[in-house]
Amino acid sequence: MAKHGADEPSCRSGSLDGEGRASEDRSLLRQRLAVQELIDTEVSYLHMLQLCASDIRSRLQQLPQGDLDVLFSNIDDIIKVNSRFLHDLQETASKKEEQVQLVGNLFLEFQEELKQVYKVYCASYDQALLLVDTYRKEPELQRHIQGIIEAVVPQAGSSGLSFLLVIPLQRITRYPLLLQKILENTVPDASAYPVLQRAVSALQDVNTNINEYKMRKEVASKYTKVEQLTLRERLARINTHTLSKKTTRLSQLLKQEAGLIPRTEDKEFDDLEERFQWVSLCVTELKNNVAAYLDNLLGWVPLAGGLRGAAYKLGKQRLEGLVWQPLCSLAKALLGPQNLIKKRLDKLLDFERLEEKLLEVGSVTYQEEAARHTYQALNSLLVAELPQFNQLVVQWLGQILRTFVTLQRDLAKQVLQRAEGSMAQLPHHHVPEPAFRKLVEDALGRTSNQLRSFQETFEKVLPPPTTQPLLPGSERQAQALLSRYGPGKLYQVTSNISGTGTLDLTLPRGQIVALLQNKDTKGNSSRWLVDTGGHRGYVPAGKLQLYHVVPSAEELRRQVGLNKDPRCLTPEPSPAPAPSIPTVNQVIAVYPFVARSSHEVSLQAGQPVTILEAQDKKGNPEWSLVEVNGQRGYVPSGFLARAQSPVLWGWSLPS
């Protein structure tokens, strides 16, 4: 009995060890079954994808290509990734001891690739379901599609396309469950346990990122639609809710502009937007230039004629097909991101207002929380995809430019080839190219010497600078500026100036001004500060020329009298009669004028006019009483200008 009692504890511990080993064996068996389930289901899944991509898609060719692209999306990319994944997964079977750890590492290795391919497919899944619904409304088409699917995949049943389209979504969401099942049957102290934990977490993150990406795409698709609405349709959409939103946003924007509240700064997005706007500008400018080039290209046809004209027509057709149409498509592709960027600004104003409310109150409503998420989704989408979009647009633009250059080179080559017959009729067609080049250089050299000689002769007898005619009422103002600033500071306006800035002046052609400073406050020498005698401001320097003061007859006689030697009493001979200098009341008509009543008189441009009174009966200087061809009447004073004094000068062409 004693011996039997001593052996009882050892038997009990032995049975516990046996139960532990049996439990471990069962866990190990379930673990291996879970790994085998992962591999077997991956084989079936990949086989189903290949049936969809090859057999089913090839038999649905009666559907538009655009529909097929939406239905099957990037299924080819998924097949490539999962084929490599399955190959590596099957290779782990040869290493039974390390298989579980290798499976975990494999999922970590393929984490990013799985996320990239499946997020694209999931984002287009809802649009694919809409197409399936439209097919169901056409019984004949639906029966044709259902027959194809049942012949290839009988287990699809009546679900048809919907059964096939949902398979990739089910697979990517099942990966974390399969890994979790393997993890549950792995002992915590095993080396594979932390690897499997990371793999489960990684695949859960993949599904989370896919859902977020899908949500961002749904928000983006809502705001990227370009609607061409009439004014009536836009007004019909206005209601109290939209007015309230727009008023709140405007108030928020005005507060930011006034500095009452801070503005949210996002340097990353601002840089991306600036890059996008630059790319958009390049596309727009290139499109305008190509349009102008195509409009003028056929203008060469009458000059070229014959075969060369046909080359220009063919060149235009190729440019329209290979350059113009892709450029228009590229410009159209920019509209969606442009709408998103505009909508982001609106949602940012809402987001900033809700953030202020959240800080003050501590909570927001469900609709306000949805508005916050909308901005975050839009901003995340733009920050993630604008760099790729900008890069693609630049590549597309570069390809269009290279195509344009190639087509231009081909066009020039064709025109030259077809012009060889005409070149044979030229007088120097038999001269070798080096000799012909020397001949052209010699001819250009002789012409250059002649032009240089003509320039030197011209400068010797260069006429005095011409000045614009003064308005009849401007003499007194010009005289005041002359006495104040001196003749070296007076300039005359050569063409009408319309001021655009606060300190810019609006001046008529012929106005006399005095130069105060030959640059503005920023050092820009193309804007001069001038004085008109009443106002001071900036005008373009290119529209001013130095004004040469012509002395009156009295001043000339006075200058002659001052230059006489008082000791010389010998009377000087009377001078020969000089050309008469017109008096102040003798002017010319600068513009034509048609009389509208019996009190007015008509004018022709360049017609000599005699001013009788420089104002009307009420003293208004804008109208002058004149005499023209024996008729008297009123004309606008601004239509008259002082006649220039005759100046004798001349030059002759070099012999």
Q: How far is the C-alpha of 116 from the C-alpha of 18, rounded, in Å?
A: 48
Residues 294 and 401 in one domain: yes
Residue 510 lies in a domain: yes
What's the distance, CA 455 to chain centroid?
47
Bridge partner residues of 623 (DSSP): 636
Do 215 and 117 belong together in one domain? yes
- With a CB cutoff of 8 Å and minimum separation 6, the contacts of 469 are 510, 588, 590, 641, 642, 643, 644
**Rounded CA gap, 294 and 370, in Å?**
49
- Reduce the DSSP state of residue 631 to 3 states and report it: strand
C-alpha distances (whole Å) from 142 to each of 57, 66, 152, 158 are 15, 18, 16, 11
Q: Tell the residue number behind the tokens 């990037």, with chain if given.
A: 74
- Cβ-contact 39, 90 below 8 angstroms: yes
Domain final position from 546, 574, 607:
546
- Mean pLDDT of all residues belonging to the chain: 79
Is residue 441 domain-shared with residue 403, that is, in the same domain?
no
- The confidence score (pLDDT) of residue 528 equals 92
Domain match, 269 and 307 both = yes
Q: Residue 139 is part of a domain; what is its CATH number?
A: 1.20.900.10
Q: Which residue has the higher pLDDT, 502 or 437?
A: 437
pLDDT tens track for 278-325: 999 999 999 999 988 888 876 665 555 555 567 777 888 888 899 999
Q: Hey, which bits of 525-621 come out as E strands?
A: 527-531, 536-540, 544-546, 586-589, 608-613
More confident: 280 or 123: 280
CA distance 102 to 88: 9
Beta carbons within 10 angstroms of residue 351's beta carbon: 22
Question: Tokens for 87?
Answer: 């190959």
The predicted-structure confidence for 148-204, as pLDDT tens digits, reads as follows 888 888 887 777 788 888 899 899 999 999 999 988 888 888 888 899 999 999 999
The model's pLDDT over 199-210, given as tens digits with 9 standing for 90+, comes to 999 999 988 888
pLDDT higher than threshold 80 for residue 6: no
Burial letters 442-461, b for 16+ CB under 10 A, else e: eeeeeeeeeeeeeeeeeeee
Measured distance CA(474)–CA(266) in Å, rounded: 57
3-class DSSP state of 163: helix
Taking only the tens place, the pLDDT of each residue in 42-92 is 999 999 999 888 888 888 888 888 888 888 888 999 999 999 999 999 998
How many domains does the chain contain in total? 5
pLDDT of residue 198: 92
Cα 15 to Cα 8, 10, 12, 18: the distances in Å are: 11, 9, 5, 5
pLDDT class of 224 with cuts at 50, 70, 90: low
Per-residue pLDDT, averaged over 493-503, amounts to 83
* 149 plus 52 within the same structural domain: yes
Maximum Cα–Cα distance across the chain:
177
Q: In terms of domains, do 59 and 185 share one?
A: yes
Confidence of residue 399 (pLDDT cuts 50, 70, 90): very high
Query: Does residue 64 share a domain with residue 160?
Result: yes
User: Do 61 and 170 belong together in one domain?
Assistant: yes
pLDDT of res. 244: 72
Nearest to 41 by CA among 108, 98, 90: 90
pTM for the predicted model, two decimal places: 0.47
d(CA 296, CA 301): 10
Residue 560 has a pLDDT of: 44
Q: What is the pLDDT of residues 541-588, one digit of tens each?
A: 988 988 876 555 455 455 445 444 444 333 344 343 433 333 447 888
pLDDT band of residue 599 (cuts 50, 70, 90) is confident
Same domain for 311 and 207: no
Q: What is the mean pLDDT of residues 232-241?
A: 67
Residue ranges making up the domain that contains 366 = 264-425
pLDDT of residue 520: 86
Phi/psi of residue 384, each to 5°? Answer: -80, -35
Asked, for residue 243, whether it belongs to a domain, the answer is no
- For residue 72, is it within any domain? yes
CATH number at residue 506: 2.30.30.40
Residues 372 and 519 in one domain: no
What is the structure's pLDDT at 79? 93
**In this structure, is residue 47 part of a structural domain?**
yes
Residue that the structure tokens 């000791």 belong to: 567
Whole-number Cα distances in Å, 339 to 219, 334, 346, 387: 12, 9, 11, 17
536 and 636 inside one domain? no
Structure-model confidence comparison of residues 470 and 376, the more confident one: 376
Q: Which secondary structure element, helix H or strand E, spans residue 164, and what is its range?
A: helix 161-165
Q: Select from 523, 498, 524 the least CA-distant residue to 511.
A: 498
Same domain, 450 and 533: no
How much of the chain exceeds pLDDT 90, in percent? 16
SS3 of residue 610 by DSSP: strand
Amino acid 565: pLDDT: 44
Alpha-carbon gap, residue 606 to 408, rounded angstroms: 50
Yes or no: say if 544 and 493 are a contact pair by the CB < 8 Å rule.
yes
Q: What is the pLDDT of residue 395?
A: 93
